[in-house]
């Protein structure tokens, strides 16, 4: 495969116009939108408006005048359209970790006789930490049981209260079959909680078709909401009346502005809210989500799979003998929107790549991650990225002291 | 008292230069900085920089390059200087409600033999709701016991695990004697948790001198961090090694980027973090806090007490016979930075005031709140505000249908 073949794909790419809706720095090939999505062109102006015209000019009256109070639900419903939610099933607020805590606690309360939370050891650590912390807090003998992906089916027994999995694995990009695992969980009487951090906006998700119970996900990856953007939580409508949230803040109250002494949960997913909504962050997130709603998730998926397959092919063609192993699934149905390579010198190699303007990231102990964001990533960039990687390997420029120096954030 | 007397005070006001550091709309007298602080002039440019130069240009590398990862601690330590914290005792993140959940759970774990959380019925509702929700979640028989302020001393018995109070009451502005109540709690073997939502940046607070154990507070009131700004949490250094946080997210881990399977808490207040820090919101909050650090909290307090006393005096002089009752304490030592008036037609009166550009707020069932923010509120504005209120009462213009219409957010 040669560069012109890839440049030709760019010419006919139906998603090409979307690149202009993002601000991307010159001289950078950005393969880390799975960690922090790029900046939408609309965001800076929208934030200036919220800051100057809403907060600055209309001050406290903006809660009504600019309907700030409705932002968590409005942005939630927009995200809902990307994940197969019905209107009124999705809310935005807090972090993914906090939303996991809420939904996991709610799910456990719906399966009071069961004590096992089932997950996998390679789940994103915060998911496991939150589950551990919740189990310790409840002090009812809950157990976080971790089994390898191949063993999950067999491990879904009648002891399991909740199966808690991340749809797309953060390190390898491995994609679970949402509908199949959810059905398996339900067949055993368990509930299904999906973490969509690496799915929402990247791969087609249909929570209701899969019959899932709860879900959470991230605003700052494929939704392009900005660093530390608020997260979302979703609960199937059938649970809205029964679910008990552990974080009973005033925005989850049936009548927050009645300032009652005792808590009464709001109807519906509103009870998943806790504190005052973060307006600036919500406005930024909405700009990112709006772009996705203008695109077709089927087109995004099609290009993503094409890009990941081409990237893997280029790695095989150009980097043979340099010690890389492709750890992402070759099978399209099992692959999210990234390709990860294992290499024993992964850390300095990634630092050398970043120094050359090819930005992916490193995950301990040995994974180089490359994420594909079809809305703003071109095909020819894949060729250029692999070419730079090849140069770094051939001239061993990765093996310089500055590339071995550890940063606070890897 | 006449308007020129107040205008004369503005001329010699040592805090007068600070008003230029805020953007304030023409024709508005803003007496609601206790609900949403005004916009600092620096914020829009700082956010544009974070959005365009940090997020947009440097993308994921900003976590190291612009030290985003340190923002929760950096802004936390700045807030810490306003509340009598030592460096390393304060962190910013999540909402006040979520931080209350964390600190209350941590405090209860430090008093395992005790089952009572003591508070007052007039505490801000989210504080009570969070405590109720936590007690239900723990299912260990914890009781949220509510007693009137006068009865708190007697109610601090050896059953009490935690005394949880808001320093300045949100409705009346009544100020607790932090040092005295804290000592009383400790004498009975209880821990002391303070909510500083209406104190931080408004009144002098010295948590360490008072010997307090835990505290939380809000970023969007007197700290001028913007709507829904992240909140802070504080824990006395002596508890850092022992405290167990219930929300064990990855940013509270000892080595977040080692991506370990099991949770190990970070040292110190870092374990109070949960999810990925909200960078845009943190940057906005820092702009607000920076202004306060340039001012003297003693000067702020002096002007605040002067403004609230003058406002109360004006109400007595100008509004006699119109049915208002001043519900805020007359005694300076017991008054925060607001004056609240009770009136049976409080809701439409406040709507009429807002329509005339005098912005306070209403709290059910009958309270009109007027907050004093000495950094950007002038003395003559007090006279003008009371004058408008007098006109509204005399011409009964409050009693129009549009002022009775209920908004979503009061």
- From CA B291, how far away is CA B37, in angstroms rounded? 12
Higher pLDDT, B409 or A8: A8
Burial of residue A95 (number of CB atoms within 10 Å: 0-12, 13-18, 19+): buried
Q: Is A98 on the interface with B (CB under 8 A)?
A: yes
B249 CB neighbours in chain A (<8 A) are 95, 97-98, 126, 129-130
Q: What is the mean pLDDT of the segment spanning B7-20? A: 98
CA pair distance A155, A158, nearest whole angstrom:
9
At A2-38, the pLDDT tens digits run 999 999 999 999 999 999 999 999 999 999 999 999 9
pLDDT at A44: 98
- For A247, which of B44, B101, B249 is closest by C-beta distance? B101
Q: Is the peptide bond before A365 cis (omega within 30 degrees of 0)?
A: yes
**Closest Cβ–Cβ partner in B44, B97, B171 for A274:** B97
Q: How confident is the model at residue A84, as a pLDDT? A: 98
Q: With an 8 Å Cβ cutoff, is B169 touching chain A?
A: no
* Contact state of B38 with A32 under an 8 Å Cβ cutoff: no
Percent of chain A with pLDDT over 70: 100
**Cβ within 8 Å of B, A 255-274:** 257-263, 274
CB-defined contacts A:B, below 8 A: 290
Write out the two tokens for A368: 């180089």
**Set of chain A residues whose Cβ sits within 8 Å of the Cβ of B247:** 97-98, 101, 130, 133
Optimal mutation site among A32, A51, A410, interface B, most CBs of chain B within 10 A: A51
Q: Looking at CA atoms only, how far is residue A226 from chain B in angstroms?
A: 7
Residue numbers of B annotated as active site: 124, 195, 220-221, 369
Of A322, A330, A327, A375, which is closest to residue A353 (Cα–Cα)? A322
CA distance B115 to chain A (A): 15
With CB atoms and an 8 Å threshold, state whether A125 touches B220. Answer: no
Q: Residues A208-235: pLDDT tens digits?
A: 999 999 999 999 999 999 999 999 999 9
At residue A330, what are phi and psi to the nearest 5 degrees? -75, -30
**pLDDT tens for residues A176-214?**
999 999 999 999 999 999 999 999 999 999 999 999 999
Mean predicted confidence (pLDDT) in A346-368: 96
Query: Coil, strand or helix: which one is A61?
Result: helix
**What does the pLDDT average to over A112-141?**
97
Reported as a single tens digit per residue, the pLDDT across B349-399 is 999 999 999 999 999 899 999 999 999 999 999 999 999 999 999 999 999
Tell whether A371 lies on the interface with B, counting CB pairs under 8 A: no
What is the DSSP-derived secondary structure letter of residue A85?
P
Other CB atoms within 10 A of residue A29 CB: 22
B281 close to A (CB below 8 A): yes
Q: Give which of B202, B222, B219 is closest to B72, Cα–Cα.
A: B219
pLDDT tens, residue by residue, B150-199: 999 999 999 999 999 999 999 999 999 999 999 999 999 999 999 999 99
Say whether B129 and A249 touch across the interface (CB within 8 A). Answer: yes
Tell me the C-alpha distance between B370 and A253, whole Å.
Answer: 25
Write down all domains in chain B, each with its CATH number in brackets: 3-30+296-404 (3.90.1150.10), 45-294 (3.40.640.10)
B interface mutation test: which of A92, A275, A410 has the most B CBs within 10 A?
A275
Residue A410: pLDDT band by 50, 70, 90 thresholds?
A: confident
Q: For residue A363, which residues of chain B lie inside 8 Å, CB to CB?
A: 259
User: What's residue B402's pLDDT?
Assistant: 95
Structure confidence by residue, pLDDT tens digits, A273-322 = 999 999 999 999 999 999 999 999 999 999 999 999 999 999 999 999 99
User: How far apart, in whole angstroms, are the C-alpha atoms of residue B407 and residue B401?
Assistant: 13
Q: Which residues of A touch B288 (CB under 8 A)?
A: none
Asked if the C-beta of B364 comes within 8 angstroms of chain A's C-beta atoms, the answer is yes
> Which residues of A are marked as active site?
124, 195, 220-221, 369
Burial of A191 from C-beta contacts in 10 A (0-12 / 13-18 / 19+) = buried
pLDDT of residue B410: 81
**Average pLDDT taken over every residue of chain B:** 97
Calculate how close chain B gets to A72, using CA atoms only, in Å: 12
Please tell me the predicted confidence (pLDDT) of residue A242: 96
Percent of chain B exceeding pLDDT 90 equals 98
Give the closest of A43, A63, A250 to B125, CB-based: A250
Which residues of B fall within a CB distance of 8 Å from A51?
A: 39, 43-44, 47, 226, 284
Task: Say whether A198 counts as a known binding-site residue.
Answer: yes
Question: Is the confidence metric ipTM above 0.95 for this complex?
Answer: yes
User: Are B96 and B88 contacting, i.e. CB atoms less than 8 angstroms apart?
Assistant: no
Q: Contact at 8 Å (CB) between B160 and B188?
A: yes
Nearest by Cα to A204 from A169, A152, A167: A167
Report the alpha-carbon distance of residue B86 to residue B80 in Å, rounded: 7
- Take residue A113 and report the two structure tokens written for it: 């006789």
The CA angle B5-B10-B13, to the nearest 5 degrees, is 125
**Average pLDDT of the segment spanning B233-257:** 97
Rounded to a whole number, what is the distance in Å from the CA of A396 to chain B's nearest CA? 23
The chain A residue lying nearest B171, using CA atoms, is: A259
Residues of chain A positioned with their CB less than 8 A from the CB of B52: 23, 39, 44
Q: Are B59 and A25 in contact (CB under 8 A)?
A: yes
Buried b (16+ CB within 10 A) or exposed e, A231-240: bbbbbbeebb
Average pLDDT over chain A reads: 97
pLDDT (mean) for A258-274:
96
What is the least distance, in Å, from the CA of B13 to any CA of chain A? 24
Could A95 and B249 be called an inter-chain contact, meaning their C-beta atoms sit closer than 8 Å?
Answer: yes
Question: Are the beta carbons of B130 and A247 separated by less than 8 Å?
Answer: yes
């Amino acid at each position: 495969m040669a560069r012109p073949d890839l440049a030709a794909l760019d010419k006919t790419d139906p998603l090409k116009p979307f690149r202009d809706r993002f601000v991307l720095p010159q001289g950078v090939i950005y393969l880390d939108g799975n960690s922090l999505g790029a900046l939408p062109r609309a965001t800076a102006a929208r934030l200036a408006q919220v800051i100057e015209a809403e907060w600055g000019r209309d001050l406290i009256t903006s809660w009504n005048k600019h309907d700030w109070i409705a932002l968590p639900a409005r942005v939630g419903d927009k995200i809902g359209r990307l994940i197969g939610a019905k209107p009124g099933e999705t809310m935005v607020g807090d972090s993914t970790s906090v939303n996991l805590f809420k939904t996991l606690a709610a799910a456990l309360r719906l399966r009071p006789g069961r004590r096992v939370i089932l997950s996998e050891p390679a789940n994103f650590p915060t998911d496991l930490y939150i589950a551990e912390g919740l189990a310790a807090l409840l002090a009812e003998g809950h157990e976080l049981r971790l089994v390898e992906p191949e063993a999950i089916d067999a491990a879904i027994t009648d002891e399991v209260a909740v199966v808690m999995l991340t749809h797309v694995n953060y390190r390898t990009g491995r994609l679970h079959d949402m509908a199949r695992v959810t059905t398996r969980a339900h067949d055993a009487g368990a509930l299904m909680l999906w973490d969509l951090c690496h799915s929402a906006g990247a791969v087609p998700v249909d929570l209701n078709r899969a019959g899932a119970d709860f879900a959470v996900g991230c605003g700052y990856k494929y939704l392009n909401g900005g660093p530390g953007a608020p997260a979302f939580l979703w609960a199937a409508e059938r649970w809205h009346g029964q679910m008990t949230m552990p974080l009973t803040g005033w925005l989850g109250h049936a009548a927050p502005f009645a300032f009652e002494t005792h808590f009464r949960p709001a109807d519906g997913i509103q009870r998943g809210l806790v504190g005052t909504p973060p307006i600036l962050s919500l406005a930024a997130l909405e700009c990112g989500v709006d772009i996705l709603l203008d695109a077709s998730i089927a087109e995004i998926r099609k290009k993503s799979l094409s890009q990941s397959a081409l990237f893997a092919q280029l790695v095989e063609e150009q980097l043979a003998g340099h010690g890389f192993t492709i750890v992402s699934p070759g099978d399209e149905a099992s692959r999210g929107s990234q390709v990860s390579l294992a290499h024993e010198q992964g850390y300095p190699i990634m630092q050398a790549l970043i120094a050359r303007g090819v930005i992916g990231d490193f995950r301990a102990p040995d994974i180089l991650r490359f994420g594909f964001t079809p809305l703003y990533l071109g095909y020819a960039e894949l060729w250029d990225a692999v070419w730079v990687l090849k140069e770094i390997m051939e001239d061993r420029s990765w093996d310089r002291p500055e590339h071995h120096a550890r940063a606070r954030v890897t």
